[in-house]
Structure 1
């Protein structure tokens, strides 16, 4: 699956979710169901290709600067939390995702992040992008074992980094956070 086609499917789901597409903390979050619906219109091979492209796209966000931004936004962020953060970041759309990967401090402009900085409800992360994909596959194919096997076999052949890319720094050092992520630090530290 081409990257543009993959992002078009994400945007279709976002359009179906409407003005409620940017916050994963909603009790009745419409976006996962909308993504399931969009993907269920595809064939099994296309859904599997979507899953593989999701792994590839979220892998581009496996970067220390973004992880450190997630740590600041969420008040801590371990391995699993960063996977959830990257999955949720994808659901914010291509522009937000690519801008955040290039400049994690750009996340300070998102309304959900501003709300979170005030202690109001909101969340960027998403438990697992794999869930709506599996739900769609199950709806189309009646099972998910063949999806799991295809993805597992393809992932074995992928080159994946052992550690995140980019500069790392001490996330507990407020001065360093202010230097490297000034807009986010202004929201969460000042």
Structure 2
């Protein structure tokens, strides 16, 4: 599976229903028909594109949307959610995090209290990170040693394609400060943060 094939799967997954559960079920079904090496390649592609989104600018965008704070785990799940937006929205956001304001999924959240966001609206999608591994385990018939084999295969494939950086790219900055209005004007307008005291 090459990166273009990966994005075709993601785009097709988007068309399978609004709910993430339906989308994941469809994706599991599709991946289950593939050779095991393709499941590994799917995970490698997913890891690579989420690494592309692992920037301080996108972390600040997530903080803006989340109301001023975003944990390490939440940011990882935010990157997976961005993948679920599709290739065009994802790549636009990587190039310009403020472009997230154009995504219908983001616009639906604006002006609504965060405690009223339902699970399918919340801008995190942790379970996408497990779909290839779980499908691999299902295909080979259990979880005892299968997961280790999958993880080793992914690690070997990623090492073969070059090391994946581990820290966010760019310079860290605080979305709760005045700089957000300059760097993220559209997101700042959609998700204004309370003034710091």
SS at match of 1:164: coil
* Structure 2: runs of 5+ lacking an equivalent: none
In structure 2, the partner of 1:166 is 170
SS at match of 1:168: coil
Q: Given the two structures, how large is their TM-score scaled by the length of structure 2?
A: 0.83
* Structure 1: runs of 5+ lacking an equivalent: none
Structure 1 pair 162/151, CA: closer, same or farther in 2 (3 Å)?
Answer: closer
SS at match of 2:123: coil
**1:84-115 deviations in whole A, cap 9, x for unaligned?**
00111111110111011011111112232223
SS at match of 1:116: coil
SS at match of 2:14: helix
Q: Tell whether the 8 Å contact from 1:65 to 1:104 is kept in structure 2 after alignment.
A: yes
Q: Tell whether the 8 Å contact from 1:85 to 1:124 is kept in structure 2 after alignment.
A: yes
How far, CA to CA, are the matches of 1:110 and 1:57 in structure 2? 18
Q: Indicate whether 1:185 and 2:177 are aligned.
A: no
Structure 1 pair 15/115, CA: closer, same or farther in 2 (3 Å)?
Answer: closer
The 4+ residue runs of structure 1 with deviation greater than 3 A are 152-158
How far, CA to CA, are the matches of 1:95 and 1:6 in structure 2? 13
Q: Indicate whether 1:72 and 2:64 are aligned.
A: yes
Q: Indicate whether 1:135 and 2:134 are aligned.
A: yes
In structure 2, the partner of 1:4 is 4
Q: Tell whether the 8 Å contact from 1:47 to 1:137 is kept in structure 2 after alignment.
A: yes
Q: Given the two structures, how large is their TM-score scaled by the length of structure 1?
A: 0.86
SS at match of 2:10: helix
SS at match of 1:150: helix
